[in-house]
Chain A
């Protein structure tokens, strides 16, 4: 690779507007395959690498009781390989999986019957439990049998051997993201690997992987004071909308089956429901050629019904406590808007105003001036950068100083929110926010993966990557009056949900 660092300006910066503001412009090429799969390409030959980012328009909000955890476990299973990767005999595996599944279904049924056997025929309980055990032994031996065809973790190994970085995936509420960065001469490898797992997902090593996601929940939620509290907050803030489930429950995910996942996959992993971004040292023509070759033969899927369930109106303040072995904390939520609501840009400006940086309203007041908190921060849930598919919540997280009560912390927060609704924001403060909006967009292009994620997620959410310009213009048009109106409407006392962590003393020794 030549010293092209200096010469190749990929982003054209326009020294625009009388204020001297700098606005980002992205040189994005776009094409759509006949099956509806959309591709965004930024040719940026700075270093001989590229990032590939695939977004599927599905997440945990698409689950219902009975298949909760499908989106996340499916994302895990996508790393198990495909038809071409990770197996010595794809057909033999399919047969064994079918057998495993039928045994599992019987175990499942028998386990659910246990309580009725215990209740109505206690004398048969022992035999019943032995029966379950014998089925489990059969399941184990079937798993053992299928393992002989498995080339373990080969999907990871192939990428790893080829120098992959940032290889991962994330499951959100509306979107699931798959991404990796590779040396640029591996472009075709990426297309082959990704297309094969999106055509032939491998449900191999299914049962241990279900245990892995259960362990992930224990680690990330059950033994984390922050997320344990947040789960209570979200579960209380939402009554009817599927956003109410912050993280899949263990009782649900440990009962998922391969069929559950394949149904989910067949419904949502369809080409017209995917957006792809490729950023780096690549050529549009190559990307297009490989896209046709590897993704072109996936048939367009049947459109699915969007979520129509709406959150019911909140009728007063809601409160929930968590008694836990940890220091005090308080989380406060307010219902917000979906990305396409006219109030959404105002909401985003409010979020920055109260939560962005040391000069933000809350940090300045609670940490620096009144010294009530160790830290305070603000975010939006689910929290897509361009806004969320359905109305989410804005959350305030506050960590009180030693011997400060959460009551005093709450009072100081509400004082700031009331001020927002009653006193116009001065123009200097609003200009600060707008400067940061421009700068964030410029910095978003600093590395390949960041830009790929930014573009693909905008495309997936709005079906138009250029929406990021439209949103920027809307954000910059927000007025002090807009802020007062939206603050008084959405951030009213009776619209809030409050979750409080109340410390338990250390020493819960269960011996």
Chain B
């Protein structure tokens, strides 16, 4: 923060004290000190890594168990395996309880257990009232340790998943997103989507093996917060997870994604009166130190909502869209940068060109010092909102541990944002931003567009057939 700015601010505040009009733009405030509680952590005898934050303001507890694994470890002919394994842990019966009993016991106690498979990990989450903690943790433990994978439920879950695939072209935004990821990542696992055939290929034995491999205590990280003490946590975990046997897990190595796509326009035909646009290119991994400057630069470009150039030009000034923006995604095996917009079909080319112009302007001439200050202040002053409940805070610690990031990452990230310079912002803009060798996905009806699609590059028609 520039000292002169602060002094002018103080001066104006002083003037306002004498009855002058006070303007919000001149009000300056000290930065809130970022000093959140530090979770307690310990490792159980069988290797569960636990982060815990005591919090008695509500009689509730949240518990999330993370496991390395997840979607990128699916075999290519069985895409959907991790996801089915997770949902069937929740829905296929557990321990002595059949599937209906799991549902009823949880819902009777107004508790909630969610089992999800993510890109590189599983997340099994419990939300429960404190008074029912013993009972609901018992069910959670059965789900993690002793899922029954009821045969009829395996069949049901598979066929419902296939019916959801049959519905995958209903929503234009979903189509655009899927085609974009498939095209930009090509044959890399990040570009794989479950198909009718891949779901068909998955057997109950595959699911049992998948569960057995990944759901072991020394691959488990727990984030617990709520109305209990550290001793309560230890007693509870001993009781329900104490007999769980270690089993060393070796994760298979996965290759980095590389640029393999043919640049151009990928057109998905749908009879709608808007063009749904998403375009971009590969960017960087989640360990690349350029991400802090890129994040700040992109805020000004298209990530900062109304405070970004894309929103100002496409929406506020031109009225061409309700949704428009650009975002980086940092991923372990290579992230990407995308821009998106939804505009009426007859303004497709006008809008797309406007978005390209914004990106090229930033690439060639950079953002301004004022834009950078705004982006930094927003990021720094709003940083607290990523960690303002005990559950958010303790889960952030667990996820950083899971990804092998340093323990103090939530503090060092803030320092890295503070250290970003204009020079660095404009350097990463020049180095990474690109509107030439990119994938442009457009979903809509080309008969209604204001210019032919090949204005923006060679056009590939995307098959909308459900496979």
What is the interface of chain A, defined by CB distance below 8 A to chain B? Answer: 1, 3, 5-6, 8-11, 13, 20, 22, 44, 46-49, 79, 84-85, 147, 152-154, 156-158, 160-166, 181, 183-186, 188-189, 192-193, 196, 205, 207-213, 215-216, 218-220, 222-225, 325-327, 356-359, 364, 367-368, 371, 374, 399, 401-402, 428, 431-432, 435-436, 438-440, 442-443, 445-448, 504, 506-511
How far in angstroms is the closest Cβ of chain A from B18?
16
Taken together as a complex, chains A and B put the C-alpha atoms of A207 and B319 apart, in Å, by 8
Q: Considering the complex, give the chain B residue whose CB is closest to the CB of A181.
A: B385
Q: Considering the complex, give the chain B residue whose CB is closest to the CB of A187.
A: B29
Question: Is the beta-carbon distance between B389 and A327 smaller than 8 angstroms?
Answer: no
Question: Is the beta-carbon distance between B60 and A219 smaller than 8 angstroms?
Answer: no
Taken together as a complex, chains A and B put the C-alpha atoms of A388 and B129 apart, in Å, by 29
Chain A residues in 8 Å Cβ range of B129: 22, 439, 442
Question: Is the beta-carbon distance between B54 and A5 smaller than 8 angstroms?
Answer: yes
Q: Which of B210-218, B266-274, B427-435 contacts A (4 or more CB under 8 A)?
A: B266-274
Question: Is the beta-carbon distance between B317 and A152 smaller than 8 angstroms?
Answer: yes
Taken together as a complex, chains A and B put the C-alpha atoms of A432 and B163 apart, in Å, by 31
Taken together as a complex, chains A and B put the C-alpha atoms of A230 and B23 apart, in Å, by 44
Chain A residues in 8 Å Cβ range of B271: 325, 504, 506-510
Question: Is the beta-carbon distance between B169 and A439 smaller than 8 angstroms?
Answer: no
Taken together as a complex, chains A and B put the C-alpha atoms of A163 and B386 apart, in Å, by 11
Q: Considering the complex, give the chain B residue whose CB is closest to the CB of A371.
A: B156
B110 at interface, CB cutoff 8 A: yes
How far in angstroms is the closest Cβ of chain B from A372?
11
Question: Is the beta-carbon distance between A47 and B316 smaller than 8 angstroms?
Answer: no
Chain A residues in 8 Å Cβ range of B22: 192
Question: Is the beta-carbon distance between B160 and A374 smaller than 8 angstroms?
Answer: yes
Question: Is the beta-carbon distance between B321 and A436 smaller than 8 angstroms?
Answer: no
Question: Is the beta-carbon distance between B306 and A153 smaller than 8 angstroms?
Answer: yes
Question: Is the beta-carbon distance between A440 and B166 smaller than 8 angstroms?
Answer: no
User: CB within 8 A of B377: which of A153, A162, A219?
Assistant: A162
Chain B residues in 8 Å Cβ range of A184: 32
Question: Is the beta-carbon distance between B269 and A157 smaller than 8 angstroms?
Answer: no
How far in angstroms is the closest Cβ of chain B from A449?
10
Contact A510 to B448, CB < 8 A, known contacts A162-B381, A358-B107: yes
Question: Is the beta-carbon distance between B274 and A219 smaller than 8 angstroms?
Answer: yes
Taken together as a complex, chains A and B put the C-alpha atoms of A184 and B22 apart, in Å, by 19
Taken together as a complex, chains A and B put the C-alpha atoms of A507 and B271 apart, in Å, by 7
Taken together as a complex, chains A and B put the C-alpha atoms of A367 and B307 apart, in Å, by 45
Question: Is the beta-carbon distance between A209 and B319 smaller than 8 angstroms?
Answer: yes
Scan residues 294-318 of chain B and give those whose CB is less than 8 A from a CB of chain A. 304-307, 311-312, 315-318
Question: Is the beta-carbon distance between A183 and B58 smaller than 8 angstroms?
Answer: no
Question: Is the beta-carbon distance between B107 and A357 smaller than 8 angstroms?
Answer: yes
Q: Which of B33-41, B77-85, B178-186, B285-293 contacts A (4 or more CB under 8 A)?
A: B33-41
Q: Considering the complex, give the chain B residue whose CB is closest to the CB of A501.
A: B170
Chain A residues in 8 Å Cβ range of B408: none
Taken together as a complex, chains A and B put the C-alpha atoms of A443 and B103 apart, in Å, by 20
Q: Considering the complex, give the chain A residue whose CB is closest to the CB of B387.
A: A47
B97 at interface, CB cutoff 8 A: no
Question: Is the beta-carbon distance between A22 and B306 smaller than 8 angstroms?
Answer: no
Taken together as a complex, chains A and B put the C-alpha atoms of A211 and B314 apart, in Å, by 11
Question: Is the beta-carbon distance between B323 and A219 smaller than 8 angstroms?
Answer: yes
Taken together as a complex, chains A and B put the C-alpha atoms of A8 and B56 apart, in Å, by 8
Q: Considering the complex, give the chain A residue whose CB is closest to the CB of B110.
A: A439
Chain A residues in 8 Å Cβ range of B172: 223
How far in angstroms is the closest Cβ of chain A from B451?
14
Q: Considering the complex, give the chain A residue whose CB is closest to the CB of B323.
A: A219
Question: Is the beta-carbon distance between B107 and A432 smaller than 8 angstroms?
Answer: yes
Taken together as a complex, chains A and B put the C-alpha atoms of A166 and B388 apart, in Å, by 13
Scan residues 441-461 of chain B and give those whose CB is less than 8 A from a CB of chain A. 445-448
Contact A219 to B342, CB < 8 A, known contacts A47-B384, A84-B21, A446-B60: yes
Question: Is the beta-carbon distance between A9 and B57 smaller than 8 angstroms?
Answer: yes
B382 at interface, CB cutoff 8 A: yes
Taken together as a complex, chains A and B put the C-alpha atoms of A428 and B107 apart, in Å, by 11
User: CB within 8 A of A374: which of B91, B103, B167, B274?
Assistant: B167
How far in angstroms is the closest Cβ of chain B from A102?
21
Q: Considering the complex, give the chain A residue whose CB is closest to the CB of B131.
A: A22
- Report, nearest first, the 9 A-B pairs whose CB atoms are least far apart: A163-B381, A208-B319, A508-B271, A211-B319, A439-B110, A510-B447, A156-B306, A163-B382, A165-B385
User: CB within 8 A of A156: which of B35, B276, B305?
Assistant: B305
Question: Is the beta-carbon distance between A160 and B305 smaller than 8 angstroms?
Answer: yes
Q: Considering the complex, give the chain A residue whose CB is closest to the CB of B225.
A: A5
Contact A161 to B374, CB < 8 A, known contacts A8-B57, A432-B107, A508-B445: yes
How far in angstroms is the closest Cβ of chain B from A121?
29
Chain B residues in 8 Å Cβ range of A374: 160, 163-164, 167
Question: Is the beta-carbon distance between A11 and B171 smaller than 8 angstroms?
Answer: no
Contact A225 to B171, CB < 8 A, known contacts A153-B312, A163-B378: yes
Question: Is the beta-carbon distance between B270 and A506 smaller than 8 angstroms?
Answer: yes
B395 at interface, CB cutoff 8 A: no
B42 at interface, CB cutoff 8 A: no
Query: Which of B35, B317, B322, B342: most chain A Cβ within 10 A?
Result: B322
Chain A residues in 8 Å Cβ range of B166: 327, 402
Can you name 22 A-B pairs with beta carbons within 8 Å? A1-B32, A5-B57, A11-B58, A46-B389, A47-B384, A49-B385, A153-B311, A163-B383, A165-B382, A183-B384, A185-B30, A189-B24, A192-B24, A215-B274, A216-B322, A223-B276, A327-B170, A357-B103, A402-B162, A432-B108, A436-B107, A447-B389
B197 at interface, CB cutoff 8 A: no
* B interface, over-half SS: mixed
Question: Is the beta-carbon distance between A5 and B390 smaller than 8 angstroms?
Answer: yes
B177 at interface, CB cutoff 8 A: no
Chain B residues in 8 Å Cβ range of A358: 91, 103, 107
**With A84-B21, A163-B384, A371-B159 given, can you name 15 additional A-B contacts, CB distance below 8 Å?**
A3-B37, A5-B54, A6-B54, A44-B57, A47-B384, A153-B307, A156-B306, A188-B27, A209-B319, A216-B322, A219-B322, A225-B171, A359-B100, A359-B104, A508-B271
Scan residues 389-416 of chain B and give those whose CB is less than 8 A from a CB of chain A. 389-391
B343 at interface, CB cutoff 8 A: yes
Taken together as a complex, chains A and B put the C-alpha atoms of A205 and B222 apart, in Å, by 50
Question: Is the beta-carbon distance between B57 and A10 smaller than 8 angstroms?
Answer: yes
Taken together as a complex, chains A and B put the C-alpha atoms of A156 and B306 apart, in Å, by 6
Chain B residues in 8 Å Cβ range of A161: 374, 377-378, 381
Chain A residues in 8 Å Cβ range of B312: 152-153
Contact A189 to B32, CB < 8 A, known contacts A47-B384, A47-B388: no
Contact A223 to B274, CB < 8 A, known contacts A152-B316, A153-B307, A162-B377: yes
Question: Is the beta-carbon distance between B446 and A511 smaller than 8 angstroms?
Answer: yes
B120 at interface, CB cutoff 8 A: no
B320 at interface, CB cutoff 8 A: yes
Q: Considering the complex, give the chain A residue whose CB is closest to the CB of B465.
A: A506
1/0 per position for B93-114, CB-CB distance to A under 8 A? 0000000100110011110000
Question: Is the beta-carbon distance between B447 and A511 smaller than 8 angstroms?
Answer: yes
Chain B residues in 8 Å Cβ range of A219: 274, 322-323, 342
Question: Is the beta-carbon distance between A435 and B58 smaller than 8 angstroms?
Answer: no
Chain B residues in 8 Å Cβ range of A224: 171
B369 at interface, CB cutoff 8 A: no
How far in angstroms is the closest Cβ of chain B from A451?
11
User: CB within 8 A of A208: which of B32, B307, B317, B385?
Assistant: B317
Q: Considering the complex, give the chain B residue whose CB is closest to the CB of A443.
A: B60
Q: Considering the complex, give the chain B residue whose CB is closest to the CB of A400.
A: B163
Question: Is the beta-carbon distance between A506 and B274 smaller than 8 angstroms?
Answer: no
Contact A162 to B56, CB < 8 A, known contacts A3-B37, A49-B388: no
Taken together as a complex, chains A and B put the C-alpha atoms of A1 and B34 apart, in Å, by 8
Chain A residues in 8 Å Cβ range of B447: 509-511
Question: Is the beta-carbon distance between A215 and B109 smaller than 8 angstroms?
Answer: no
B119 at interface, CB cutoff 8 A: no
Taken together as a complex, chains A and B put the C-alpha atoms of A15 and B391 apart, in Å, by 24
How far in angstroms is the closest Cβ of chain B from A327?
5
B59 at interface, CB cutoff 8 A: yes
Contact A164 to B103, CB < 8 A, known contacts A6-B54, A222-B273: no
Taken together as a complex, chains A and B put the C-alpha atoms of A294 and B371 apart, in Å, by 30
Chain B residues in 8 Å Cβ range of A183: 29, 32, 381, 384
